[in-house]
Chain A
């Protein structure tokens, strides 16, 4: 019940600041429309027929980062012009406060991912794995967004202000995006770079999403591995966010 109350407050904030949806989706949209058109031709040479469909999973992760960063920004805004402190002394469980905020970021991610998917339809992108694949994609997007929102929530409570927070988030997002298989297949890499890309958990999320979008057959073991990986990551990020919120009252 309290989760829904916090969730509702944040949804109202999103409606009030609808431009944040436009801002966070702008960059992935440019990648989808412009970059895929430009790079698509050269990628045909290495056997990637629809490069837009190929980079779509990476852009889903990028969209998630953009939308979920607001979960952290929200803490700064609620501290200065909102009910952050009032909520902390209300009879509301700390976990409900974090969960309500994280779920709003997840909802925003879904909205932006839906827009990206709709636009990608104009570039002949289809989900080869059908309805089941679609469900699995929804679940993967949910868990990815949940993990990132928890992470950004915790980071925001560690850093002193929005400016430092934005700088740190930029320093995280770009390396994570480029050191993954978002823009190119893993088998093109070798040596230390291949190891780093393999260690990036988003590489596995992107590969799983890509398999569901491009291939008709679902490799169960690979999908289970990614779900387990995300489950552990979600648990860690949520626990960290909760821990940071609790620390707000033990200065």
Chain B
């Protein structure tokens, strides 16, 4: 069943900026859906539209079959959002914040207390109970923000770049937390990120967007060739050296025009690592000056270049 269905969504701000440009996607009930995109791709705007914070210019959004603008009151009761800016009242204590959230969603006092105890345990917040919220670190505030959002037992939880700026341990802890939310509470998670690894590790479905439009959507294994394929990078001292080598190297290994990037040649390794050996040997045999050759994991930019180079396609 589709938890969220977005069709041809357009959002043009009053200042003329077009953040969403005919975006369409589908999120299944009970899954972790990751929306990947670079800064300015329109991810936050999309979350703001889906959480009824912003009105779209055109297009349709339905959640559990209900139009989110005609039935926004009913939808708001079923969703929660952890935005990039934490939204916690620092003048309230941890428990007061949680009870305040439950009152906004009209959860009964006894039920709210039960949920609060569970969430404090699940999110490991027990030892912060005695401190004032204003003294919490950014990571703990983010954790509390997510726990708060779970007080209303939402059907869909939106997380806007929840791990941005976190160290690797905190990120892994956050990933485990998200899996727990999906598995223990059955909540659908809609997550935005610009980390390929995060989307790959966590998601049931991944959608990559660029310039306000989806580029590709599919399950991680279907996108494996884009997300996990090793790449070879040859670095040169100047752009001219890279260009001159690129022309000659095309006869040794298969290269596309998009593989030449300023002073580097970056290409996918198609034949395991034999392309690496071939290119390396050729560079040394012909005494081509270069700074280094290495194998690397694709960045989001690499994936975009590859996808847009292939004019985009859908994988299901």
Contact check, A9 vs B92: say whether CB atoms are below 8 A apart. Answer: yes
Any B CB within 8 A of the CB of A5? yes
Q: Inside 8 A of A13's CB, which chain B residues have their CB?
A: 89, 91
Q: Inside 8 A of A89's CB, which chain B residues have their CB?
A: 51-53, 76, 79-81
B156 to chain A, nearest CB (A): 12
Contact check, A250 vs B54: say whether CB atoms are below 8 A apart. Answer: yes
Separation of A1 and B102 alpha carbons in the complex (Å): 12
- Given A83-B88, A85-B85, A91-B76: A5 in contact with B103 (beta carbons within 8 A): yes
Contact check, B105 vs A16: say whether CB atoms are below 8 A apart. Answer: no
Any A CB within 8 A of the CB of B14? yes
Any B CB within 8 A of the CB of A82? yes
Separation of A163 and B105 alpha carbons in the complex (Å): 34
Q: How many residues of B contact A (CB 8 A)?
A: 32
Separation of A183 and B293 alpha carbons in the complex (Å): 83
Contact check, A84 vs B87: say whether CB atoms are below 8 A apart. Answer: yes
Separation of A251 and B13 alpha carbons in the complex (Å): 6
Q: Inside 8 A of A91's CB, which chain B residues have their CB?
A: 73-74, 76-77, 104-106
Contact check, A82 vs B89: say whether CB atoms are below 8 A apart. Answer: yes
Per-position contact with A for B84-102: 1 when CB-CB < 8 Å, else 0?
0101111110001100110
Any B CB within 8 A of the CB of A239? no
Q: Inside 8 A of B171's CB, which chain A residues have their CB?
A: none
Residue of A nearest to B149 (CB): A86
Residue of A nearest to B88 (CB): A83
Q: Is the interface of A mostly helix, strand, loop or mixed?
A: helix
Residue of B nearest to A85 (CB): B87
9 closest cross-chain pairs (CB), A and B: A86-B87, A16-B91, A90-B104, A91-B76, A5-B103, A91-B77, A81-B90, A82-B89, A89-B51
Q: Inside 8 A of A85's CB, which chain B residues have their CB?
A: 53, 83, 85, 87
Per-position contact with B for A76-108: 1 when CB-CB < 8 Å, else 0?
001001111111111110000000000000000
Per-position contact with B for A127-169: 1 when CB-CB < 8 Å, else 0?
0000000000000000000000000000000000000000000
Contact check, A83 vs B89: say whether CB atoms are below 8 A apart. Answer: yes
Residue of B nearest to A2 (CB): B104
| Additional 11 contacts, C-beta under 8 A, given A9-B89, A249-B54 | A5-B104, A82-B88, A83-B87, A86-B87, A87-B104, A89-B79, A89-B80, A90-B104, A90-B105, A251-B13, A251-B54
Separation of A88 and B48 alpha carbons in the complex (Å): 11
B150 to chain A, nearest CB (A): 13
B272 to chain A, nearest CB (A): 49
In-complex Cβ contact of A12 among B53, B81, B96 (8 A): B96
Contact check, B54 vs A92: say whether CB atoms are below 8 A apart. Answer: no
A contact residues vs B (CB 8 Å cutoff): 1-2, 5, 8-9, 12-13, 16-17, 78, 81-92, 249-251
23 contacts between A and B (CB under 8 A): A1-B106, A2-B103, A2-B104, A5-B103, A5-B104, A9-B89, A12-B89, A13-B91, A78-B89, A81-B88, A82-B89, A82-B90, A83-B88, A85-B83, A85-B87, A86-B87, A86-B101, A86-B104, A87-B104, A89-B51, A89-B52, A89-B81, A250-B54
Separation of A240 and B286 alpha carbons in the complex (Å): 76
Any A CB within 8 A of the CB of B55? yes
Q: Inside 8 A of B148's CB, which chain A residues have their CB?
A: 86
Contact check, A249 vs B91: say whether CB atoms are below 8 A apart. Answer: no
Q: Inside 8 A of B104's CB, which chain A residues have their CB?
A: 2, 5, 86-87, 90-92
Separation of A90 and B101 alpha carbons in the complex (Å): 9
Separation of A82 and B79 alpha carbons in the complex (Å): 19
Separation of A103 and B74 alpha carbons in the complex (Å): 27
Per-position contact with A for B9-47: 1 when CB-CB < 8 Å, else 0?
000011000000000000000000000000000000000
In-complex Cβ contact of B53 among A1, A2, A9, A249 (8 A): A249
Separation of A216 and B83 alpha carbons in the complex (Å): 59
Q: Inside 8 A of A92's CB, which chain B residues have their CB?
A: 104
Q: Inside 8 A of B97's CB, which chain A residues have their CB?
A: 83
Separation of A13 and B148 alpha carbons in the complex (Å): 19
Q: Inside 8 A of A2's CB, which chain B residues have their CB?
A: 103-104
Q: Which residues of B (232-270) have their CB < 8 Å from a CB of A?
A: none
B68 to chain A, nearest CB (A): 11
